[in-house]
Structure 1
């Protein structure tokens, strides 16, 4: 159905919304799909033209035959178009989640039950269709990648018998296959839901569908690939927010959507963060691939320079946004749309340049570290880990290390807002949060994190810290309570941070995860599913596996301890006795897991650890025994602390109940106590309490009732 028909079909909302945005009578709804097509064509043509120009250099460096014009032009063209489409999907779901307010429920901001507004529904549908289109592009990219890497024509690569070869032997083709799965799942679900509560889930799905592409390519191979992969992931995720968010705002403006000023303000904050993050991650990634003298002497270096100039130009256009178009939003929003269109066109051209970099070999480093260890984990380890030297070695983790810094800054900003409002806050919560952020950063960036991929014992130290210690500290910091204290509830029809934090603390997904049975199982099954199946060797041998494991450890532990001891609100508050019972039930499973590892005769991931060829003597069986002991000791210690915390809470709960009972007794002149004493007296005299109760119940009733 056409956007204009849908938007004009809701006449009351349209009239009110236009009044809010200051639209004059001449304003009319405009379709945005021609602009989407223009953005995709610009990105695709720039990528294809540059890749074609550098074709001979790329083929000679890779040592493969010319796959033909279809692959040579089609692969960069479709990849660039794919990134525009993926950005549109992310930006559209970002708009339906945070930029465009849903309908109110009985005049209130009830995000759990709210349905999308007309404009929000259009944004969500656009995101779903864009995800499906991205999935279709991913399917076509599989034979294109096969053709590009093998040198065979596209007509041969597309033959059915070659698809299985692509999935088995070509990592990039496998990545595109996963992209298609995630994209189709997100898009199909998005077509059938119109509730706000599902929009954050769809936004998450839109981000997930591009992650496989961030884990392959130049950055995921060779030395320092941990830096390369992590910086590329940040770069791609922030690019999606920057480009996609602006495209969603253009569509919102052309649909005459409500509260454009609020949407632009929220996007502006995200864009500022995205630009800064893209600049930092881009510089880190470029420095890993190009020396300064190569910037103007190689094609790859020239592409880096061109991309940098484009980003600077975008910064100038962004400044024009702030000074020219944003002040005119209430009265003339089309000025914003026109400048934004020009900005996205520049973004599309830069994206095309970035795509061509993916098909242009970077300069060969003067002193390449091609040792097996460097190729497997990204860097070399020269000394055996000890209790002391792991804290003197540092290699900043660009993923979780950055997350730790961002979490700390977020909390400090919330405290500053509370201080401005002269509201009190428990300083012990601040202590726990800061300790949690520091522990997270030290765990992944010190020698613990460096040795984690190389030895099982250090892997288990990091695992226990990330799943058993860091989550406890962060949970006790009560971040959602801080948000709801620092930010006032939004006006009806204008939800904000307060409402988002409230729905994060109480939603169907969290309610399911925090059911005691589900929560206990998910926390325990991480240990058994990872180490008692071949999954561990698959995960530990890939950088992507390390990233996934680390995030899963922290998330699983956070959910578990939030339900157990978290002061933040939760879907259902259970008694301390109930939580003590579930903790007592789970503790033997944790203890048994450590004992099982210590008795295990099979060496986990033996081939991978042997292949690293560490420069010190390593007894893999003994190292695994030590890892099992670490799991047993360090796993039980936090649980005992939590047990003590819950037991203390139970005693405090009982004391409060006693005080409440005594207060109620004094208010009723101890009537309950007197009745209780009378009952005891009758029992001591041998009276039949059931007979007494029967007589007292029916003595005032009609004799027929007694019969």
Structure 2
């Protein structure tokens, strides 16, 4: 370990951190945190178990399930949070060996954090696998001893949606944990962090939030809630462990975590309010068991916010001289977090109040809301429903971009207004598309789905890449004088082996074109539209694939290995027939994609599903041409400016060397005309 007093490293306050005492491990603390969450979850669930079983009409499966299921689910979320937070520490809180992030390995402290994260994800995978038979036992009322038989697990995965969610979680957690044990290079740590967060996604797509009316609001808000809970709780556990190890750079790590914690508490509060408001009335808070648990959880979050205030006012200013004070208060804080986690898990075992809207038809069950009239060119602009994922993302991206523009101007720099207009146009397009009648009917009609597909994969990305956000943020962010910071993270994010491979013209064109065919030619489309998660995944992939494709073609931000405008135009020309044929294929297809799903929605207007699909194919064929015209225009302009730049370079060189290249060329022509062989003389002159 590096002692700042010896190495000369200084904290942001320029005072050395006093490291006293012996470095200690934190394994027993991890277990204590997980057990605390598990005991609280099990105890509360047992209190309300009779009410829950009576509401569900199933027999008691026995104590191993009734107590074990909430215990392991609560403890499992604490273990998963430890994995997420430890990856946050190894990637962004602790300093790696050197500043070359694309090649450097983790420091000793970073390696310990990464190893903790990997083991945590493996433990979470085991717990997740155990939850598969436990939920089968819980739903069927059979004793756990019967459902532990692996031969019963396929039935559990097929019949119990929660068991399926935990099985997917187990796979994600296992892959992330095993992969994280194979390398301790810094560049992989953010990737493993994404894998750890993805392992939580299936859990956010099941439960009370994923059923009934407004479940789109419930699911999306719960996803935000779950993700930032893991970042908040896990990050603090990682900091406690780092402090107990007497690791260096504690002040920087705490300062960075403090910003993350502030964002987390705001997101958790907002998402929690949204989720509770669609489940119950205000009067239910003090009159129902579910309301009492919501109230207890709310009080706990307020207490945690007070802990954050104490850290900012008391422990962080004294971190240089009293580092133990931060750890002591943080341990109590994590225990409160564990108790809140147990309360939150108990909500899933407690029947919520009766729904405010008792008109739960198939459309509400599948979509979360009702569609009363056929969408037209005019009325899609009169229907509005805010999308908590993509609408919020559009606002966050726009706010971040404007902040960076303000930062550049504050530093005395300039930023072209046209780039700002392009980027904000992309964000506005995303906001309007997903929050208007277009976004509301995307899950209900193939033709509207195709409109959304074209806008998300071609319209929004065009605005983003022409806005040059990477170039802007590289100007706005200053190099970090301590650990690598946001600027360094951004640089390695856009210039690394994976991005270099994906932005090769051949690879980039294939990923953009092939995904269209994989989605609609295979049974994948029918699988994706049947679940809210599928719609989320498709929309994210549309945005990602289109942004990558147009970034390499016409983006303002330079790609790691740029190609000439002529080569890019050639690749675009070669890919156009595939785009056109894709639309023609859908127009000629006689089989209705997603027939059962669309038919069961029971839309209040009679519709010819095959005709709607043919309209969608026509939209796919025709609507893609307009964005491609913009791409062609930009490529031609880039071609012109590149040729003009080369001409200026040649003119400047000619002015400096006196047309040496032209004189040599004319000498060669004269030699050929005189019958001499100029090659030896010319190359000899060149290489002498």
Bin for the TM-score computed over the shorter chain: over 0.9
1:272 pairs, out of 262, 265, 271, with 262
1:522 pairs, out of 500, 511, 514, with 511
1:62 pairs, out of 56, 59, 62, with 56
* Equivalent residue, structure 1, for 2:117: 127
1:408 pairs, out of 398, 408, 418, with 398
Distance 2:434 2:685 in 1: 75
CA drift at 1:23: 4.1
Distance 1:699 1:436 in 2: 56
1:536 pairs, out of 525, 528, 533, with 525
Deviations 1:375-412 (A, max 9, x none): 11111000110101111110000111111111111112
> In the alignment, is the contact (CA less than 8 A) between 1:587 and 1:636 conserved in 2?
no
* Equivalent residue, structure 1, for 2:420: 430
Distance 2:683 2:194 in 1: 61
Report SS of the residue matched to 2:286. Answer: coil
The within-5 A match list for 1:351-370 is 351-370=341-360
CA drift at 1:482: 1.6
The within-5 A match list for 1:275-294 is 275-294=265-284
Report SS of the residue matched to 1:596. Answer: helix
Distance 1:464 1:477 in 2: 19
* Equivalent residue, structure 1, for 2:576: 587
> In the alignment, is the contact (CA less than 8 A) between 2:137 and 2:143 conserved in 1?
yes
CA drift at 1:251: 1.0
Matched, 1:693 2:683: no
When the two chains are superposed, the root-mean-square deviation of aligned CA atoms in Å is 1.8
> In the alignment, is the contact (CA less than 8 A) between 1:310 and 1:346 conserved in 2?
yes
Report SS of the residue matched to 2:101. Answer: coil
Distance 1:681 1:73 in 2: 96
2:163 pairs, out of 170, 173, 176, with 173
Q: Which moved more, 1:651-660 or 1:57-66?
A: 651-660
Matched, 1:397 2:393: no
Deviations 1:119-150 (A, max 9, x none): 11111111001000000101111110100000
CA drift at 1:295: 1.4
The within-5 A match list for 1:9-48 is 10=1, 15-16=6-7, 22-24=16-18, 26-48=20-42
> In the alignment, is the contact (CA less than 8 A) between 2:304 and 2:333 conserved in 1?
yes
> In the alignment, is the contact (CA less than 8 A) between 1:454 and 1:609 conserved in 2?
yes
Distance 1:419 1:282 in 2: 37
The within-5 A match list for 1:448-459 is 448-459=438-449
> In the alignment, is the contact (CA less than 8 A) between 1:44 and 1:352 conserved in 2?
yes
For structure 1, the residue ranges without an aligned partner over 5 or more in a row are 1-9, 702-707
Distance 1:423 1:693 in 2: 52
* Equivalent residue, structure 1, for 2:324: 334
Distance 1:98 1:143 in 2: 37
CA drift at 1:11: 6.4
Distance 2:8 2:168 in 1: 40
Q: Which moved more, 1:414-423 or 1:464-473?
A: 414-423
* Equivalent residue, structure 2, for 1:704: none
Matched, 1:249 2:239: yes
Distance 2:420 2:681 in 1: 61
Distance 1:152 1:584 in 2: 62
Report SS of the residue matched to 2:387. Answer: coil
Matched, 1:473 2:459: no
> In the alignment, is the contact (CA less than 8 A) between 1:250 and 1:337 conserved in 2?
yes
TM-score, normalised via structure 1 length: 0.94
Residues 264 and 656 (structure 1), Cα distance of their counterparts in 2 relative to 1, 3 Å cut = same
CA drift at 1:366: 4.4
CA drift at 1:671: 2.6
1:632 pairs, out of 621, 624, 638, with 621
The within-5 A match list for 1:44-443 is 44-104=38-98, 109-443=99-433
> In the alignment, is the contact (CA less than 8 A) between 1:17 and 1:257 conserved in 2?
no
> In the alignment, is the contact (CA less than 8 A) between 2:4 and 2:16 conserved in 1?
no
Distance 1:309 1:692 in 2: 90
User: How many pairs align?
Assistant: 684
Deviations 1:220-251 (A, max 9, x none): 11111111110110100010111111111111
> In the alignment, is the contact (CA less than 8 A) between 1:590 and 1:636 conserved in 2?
no
> In the alignment, is the contact (CA less than 8 A) between 1:23 and 1:256 conserved in 2?
no
> In the alignment, is the contact (CA less than 8 A) between 2:105 and 2:186 conserved in 1?
yes
CA drift at 1:692: 3.4
1:498 pairs, out of 480, 483, 487, with 487
CA drift at 1:367: 3.3
Q: Which moved more, 1:533-542 or 1:650-659?
A: 650-659
Q: Which moved more, 1:652-661 or 1:298-307?
A: 652-661
CA drift at 1:640: 2.2
1:647 pairs, out of 613, 617, 636, with 636
Distance 2:70 2:638 in 1: 60
Report SS of the residue matched to 2:624. Answer: helix
Matched, 1:565 2:557: no
Deviations 1:314-342 (A, max 9, x none): 11121111111011011111111111111
Q: Which moved more, 1:154-163 or 1:465-474?
A: 154-163
Residues 189 and 15 (structure 1), Cα distance of their counterparts in 2 relative to 1, 3 Å cut = farther
Distance 2:327 2:273 in 1: 30
> In the alignment, is the contact (CA less than 8 A) between 1:594 and 1:629 conserved in 2?
yes
For structure 2, the residue ranges without an aligned partner over 5 or more in a row are none
Distance 2:174 2:685 in 1: 72
Distance 1:102 1:413 in 2: 29
Report SS of the residue matched to 1:91. Answer: helix
CA drift at 1:34: 1.4
Distance 2:169 2:5 in 1: 37
Distance 1:280 1:405 in 2: 15
1:600 pairs, out of 589, 599, 607, with 589
The within-5 A match list for 1:606-617 is 606-617=595-606
1:507 pairs, out of 475, 481, 496, with 496
